[in-house]
Amino acid sequence: MVPAIFLDRDGVIIENRPAYVRSWADVEIFPQALAALAGMKNSGYIIAVVTNQAGIGKGLIQPEAAQEINRRLVQEVEKAGGRIDGIFVCPHTPEDRCDCRKPHPGLFFQAAKALSIDLSRSIMIGDTLNDLQAGRAAGIERVALVRTGLGAQQILFPEASSLGPFPVYNTVSEALAELI
């Protein structure tokens, strides 16, 4: 079993959109994220994206369109010299109360099973406290918050202190440079 670098998608690799990422035209990849993923290509870590996509559950985007966005994202990362080994999507809304929507750990367990990941040696990098909570609930000790996306706001929430200590970085590039 191999450790993984788990990354949230929106806010870590691409810009968040208040009205959801609904098509490829809505995708704006952080250039530093492309460079960081290229730098991790031969790291020995599996690279997995775990992403809540409530827009699917709300009927704002069809599952096939979400898959196409993710497929094109993987292509762009590969074109830049990087890789993503798997993208795991929760299509549910918070009201669905599923076990795969972060802060629940279901997506991490799906990824671990599909890609033979050792969760205890893995890393989670996200832009929300839910990302960190989900990683910890899955048994990932090393979690980090980035200020891109929602991270700069999330770090100010009172709940942040209840998660115990975790590092905060400006970008996923900075996080990976420090953590790997």
CB atoms closer than 10 angstroms to residue 116: 11
Instruction: Compute the Cα dihedral for 28, 32, 35, 36 and give only its sign.
Output: negative
* DSSP-derived secondary structure for 60-97: SS-HHHHHHHHHHHHHHHHHTT----EEEEE---GGG-
pLDDT of 150: 96
pTM over 0.85: yes
Domain range 4-179, its CATH number among 3.50.50.60, 3.40.50.1000, 2.40.50.100, 3.20.10.10: 3.40.50.1000
Is the pLDDT at 15 greater than 90, yes or no?
yes
What residue segments make up the domains of the chain, in order of their start?
A: 4-179
C-alpha to C-alpha distance for 63 and 75, rounded to whole angstroms? 18
pLDDT of 147: 97
Q: Reduced to 3 states, what is the DSSP secondary structure of residue 44? A: coil
C-alpha to C-alpha distance for 13 and 83, rounded to whole angstroms? 12
**Mean pLDDT, to the nearest integer, of 120-142?**
98
- What does the pLDDT look like over 20-79, one tens digit per residue? 999 999 999 999 999 999 999 999 999 999 999 999 999 999 999 999 999 999 999 999
**What is the radius of gyration, based on Cα positions, of the chain?**
15
pLDDT of 164: 85
pLDDT of 141: 94
Q: Residue 173: what are its φ and ψ, rounded to 5°?
A: -60, -45
**Mean pLDDT, to the nearest integer, of 120-126?**
98
pLDDT of 140: 98
Comparing C-alpha atoms, which of 134, 126, 10 is closest to residue 61? 10
Contact predicate 55/22, CB 8 Å: yes
Burial (CB < 10 A; 0-12, 13-18, 19+), residue 124, is buried
Show Cβ contacts of residue 121 under 8 Å, excluding neighbours closer than 6 positions: 3
- What does the pLDDT look like over 68-107, one tens digit per residue? 999 999 999 999 999 999 999 999 999 999 999 999 999 9
